[in-house]
Amino acid sequence: MSQAGLLYPDDSSIKNLHEKLTKAAQDLNMPDRHLRRLLNSPGRFPDFSLGIDGFFMDFSRQRLDENALSLLRESQTLSNALKKFSEMTQGKVVNPTENRAALHTAARGTGPSPLLFKDMDVKAQMQQVNEQIEQFCLSVHEGKISSASGKPFTQAVVIGIGGSYLGCEFVYQALAGADRKMDLLFLPNVDIDNFARVIECIDKETTLWIVISKSYTTTETMANLNQVSTWLKDQGVSPKDHMVTITAKGSPGDNPDTPVLASFHMFDFIGGRYSVSSAVGGLPLSLALGYDVFKRFLDGCRIMDTHVLESPQEKNIALTAALISIWNILYMGYPAQAIIPYASRLSRLSPHVQQLYMESLGKSVSPEGKLLSRPAGTIIFGEPGTNAQHSFFQLAHQGNAFPIDFIGVKSPGYAGIQAMSKGVTNHQELWANLLAQAGALALGRNSDDPARNFDGNRPSTIITIDNLEPESVGMLLSFYEARTVLEGFILGVNPFDQFGVELGKVMAGDIRKEMAARNQNPSYTFACESKTDNFYLDLLFRK
């Protein structure tokens, strides 16, 4: 599938559009186009906001006008982004460099039924895995599947890195108010102190270990698995009686000769960073919160999927967010984007979107291997509000500007007693800060004291969800997935491969061999190609 787009223009229409967008950005950089004036224009709020039941996006504080927005929508038309998104949900190959489909949406029931890919009914296969998850979790919760000591499992630890844990961790923390059936911990980092912290928090006799790796060869995950297995044996606990795997069919983790309590399949048409709605998130979340909660989360994902598929571009929330992101990066020249949820339970949203976005769009070539006109993607970072205000908002207001997604939740998860401070509740105070920050960034404030002058004209979007129930969290996750995919299609990059992570892994393998040689022979002289690496290895092994 051709991925021609704004960064890989293969025809005059796209080149001409790029020139028009560049001119529109120049116009909006004029002093008389400050956000103070844009916000006062008639109909600004209704014309620059979109919503569906349970999800609302206000982009009236973006440095956009109707002309720029209309031109950006042309980029969607020329790149066929919405058509490609639809084809993605139908099982077409949208990852040409790996000859794969991208069917994370099918994991929540989006797309036609049956949904065939390589003679496989994708939905039927994933439904079979979900039924296996439901039955396994029910057996664990009822004590029919128990630990080697006969005690019920009370905790679970996810051994996995990157997409094998980030999305799941975000959803788990976001749904922390649900009735918890088991505590869920995460062991992603190969750092031994990550392991040490985990074992400090668990009961070895009642902990279930969930190993997540598609190939079952991921170096960090396998190192942590070996560390956990060694520790369990030292503690007199049989690893096979306390472990389950989530892996590709036929991988080393799906080997009957290496028995575990259960093995659940993941598929090569779902990339790690898009996998939380598959078994990768389904098993841990169902163990921790119950399968019914996971199903409700999937329902929320499907609601947003359906909106993206069925809404025209003028009403399409995720598409509009993708267009705004492109505008801010390519034409307004902002160096980064921040995601600031004003809800502590959404604290792991930013790290999840970091991987989702930066691994998907951090590219320098088209799917056909042609150099882009400039590297794609930007830096994504974030921290919950109001913490962020006391961390990096000095830069946000008076340093190098960057656009911000402010995320507000109408109803907090906590329903207990709420004190009043200065006449408002904590939740109202939270919202006062969210609205004030968005307003201050946009409007600024003039002062005769240069140190106290605020230029304003700094863009932001306010996204609101109704609550922190599973459906709302699912909609939020699916929104950022769809936004990322559509942005990739419009730019002309493949949002589903990630070859950029490979070189460091290869080089680590060479260094690892040097370390192993010294472990076997204390007199071995390091022979890395880099003398600097030899210096650090000598330092590491020095007694």
Whether a cis peptide bond, with omega within 30° of 0, leads into 386 is yes
**Cα–Cα distance for residue pair 389/161, rounded to 1 Å:** 30
| pLDDT digits 0-9 by tens, 189-201 | 999 999 999 999 9
How far apart are the C-alpha atoms of 28 and 233, rounded to whole Å?
65
The yes-or-no answer on residue 34 being catalytic is no
Choosing from 15, 118, 390, 513, which is the catalytic residue?
390
pLDDT at residue 355 above 50?
Answer: yes
Above pLDDT 90, what percent of the chain?
Answer: 94
Q: What residue type is 214 in one-letter code? A: K
Residues 6+ positions from 169 with CB-CB distance below 8 Å: 158, 186, 348, 351, 352
DSSP H helices in 29-149: 35-39, 44-47, 66-79, 81-89, 122-141
For 120-146, what is the mean pLDDT?
Answer: 96
The pLDDT score that the predictor gives to residue 3 is: 54
Average pLDDT (213-231) is 95
Active-site entry in 359, 383, 469, 471: 359
Give the number of other Cβ atoms within 10 Å of residue 77's Cβ: 14
Cβ proximity of 128 and 348 under 8 Å: no
> What pLDDT is stored for residue 257 in this prediction?
84
Whether 14 contacts 78, CB under 8 Å: yes
Can you give the pLDDT at residue 220? 94
> Do 459 and 35 contact (CB within 8 A), yes or no?
yes
Q: Can you tell me the distance from the alpha carbon of 439 to that of 60, in angstroms, rounded to the nearest whole number? A: 11
Domains and CATH numbers, the chain: 12-93+311-411+419-495 (3.40.50.10490), 107-296 (3.40.50.10490), 505-541 (no CATH)
pLDDT for residue 56: 98
Token pair recorded at residue 485:
């995919």
Mean pLDDT of the chain: 95
State whether residue 341 is helix, strand or coil. strand
Interacting residues of 118 by C-beta distance below 8 A, sequence separation 6+: none
Residue type, 12: S
Q: Tokens standing for 451?
A: 């140190």
Indicate whether 5 pLDDT > 90. no
- Catalytic: which of 118, 233, 240, 505? 505
Residues 6+ apart with CB under 8 A from 39: 60, 61, 442, 443
For residue 416, the tally of other CB atoms under 10 A from its CB is 4
Mean pLDDT score, 45-61: 98
pLDDT reported for residue 1: 45
pLDDT-derived band of residue 10, with 50, 70 and 90 as boundaries? confident
Q: What is the pLDDT of residue 9?
A: 72
How many whole angstroms separate alpha carbon 71 and alpha carbon 16?
Answer: 11
The reply to whether 363 belongs to the active site is no
359 catalytic residue (yes or no): yes
Mean pLDDT for 108-112 is 95
The pLDDT of 287-312, averaged and rounded, is 98
